[in-house]
Amino acid sequence: AQSVTQPDIHITVSEGASLELRCNYSYGATPYLFWYVQSPGQGLQLLLKYFSGDTLVQGIKGFEAEFKRSQSSFNLRKPSVHWSDAAEYFCAVGAQTGANNLFFGTGTRLTVIP
Amino acid sequence: EAGVAQSPRYKIIEKRQSVAFWCNPISGHATLYWYQQILGQGPKLLIQFQNNGVVDDSQLPKDRFSAERLKGVDSTLKIQPAKLEDSAVYLCASSPAGGNTIYFGEGSWLTVV
């Protein structure tokens, strides 16, 4: 069965500090992997995605993520966090074949302190 | 390019009442999804349409939830009668045929009191 685990419910970082949000997945086939961000009262915005090829993918707003098949992980990183990055971050996994819906983790809430 | 449009954005109803949410996907997107996001959780798929046919509705509580996409474009999700546990954000999303990137609307926030 497919599942996504985001072990950190809430993370607090100082503005300008680096950030890493963890994501582990369990999937029966080769997955597509996504990170979405949700600001308060808003829908989900796609940050980045991994389908194949280079395991380090770049996204919007200076985010990047690295796919590690051996660890079943797809961690999100940013070298220097801005106050506007405060939001909820969701990792999701989808199928490469068949119905392409997404399975989401429970999210990590990011607080940025000045 | 216009994004996924949803309405109403916010709705408060009493339990046992009914409510309907409307969604207009990105133009040309064949696949439309309805997700339910309960506070503190990740979104969960309720139903997926490919054009006007249902691909997956295994997680839709069919005794109270219904959804339709009659002309293969916009869609309506209905809840009747509502329960307190239906309080959630209902996210509509769409993707192009054969595409694997799903684009979300801003959501319809439902509070059942």
In chain A, pLDDT over 70 holds for what percent of residues?
96
Of A49, A90, A103, the CB nearest to B101: A49
Each residue's pLDDT tens digit, B6-64? 999 999 999 999 999 999 999 999 999 999 999 989 999 999 999 889 999 999 999 99
Q: What is the DSSP letter of B55?
A: E
Q: Which residues of B87-107 are buried (b: 16+ CB within 10 A; e: fewer)?
A: bbbbbbbbbeeeeeebbbbbb
Residues of B in contact with A102 (CB under 8 A): 43, 45, 102
With 90 as the cut, is the pLDDT of residue B97 above it? Answer: no
Nearest CA in chain A to B109: A41
CA-closest candidate to residue A77, choices A43, A48, A41: A48
Q: Do A92 and B45 touch (CB under 8 A)?
A: no
Q: In the predicted model, is pLDDT for residue A5 greater than 80? A: yes
C-alpha distances out from residue B58 to A24, A69, A93, B48, B100, Å: 25, 29, 18, 10, 20
Token pair for A64:
């990047």
Output the pLDDT for position A99.
60
* Chain A, chain B: beta-carbon pairs less than 8 Å apart: 58
Residue A19 at interface with chain B, using a CB cutoff of 8 Å: no
Summarised one tens digit per residue, pLDDT across range B63-92 is 999 999 988 899 999 999 999 999 999 999
Q: Which residues from A are below 8 Å from B103, CB to CB?
A: 46
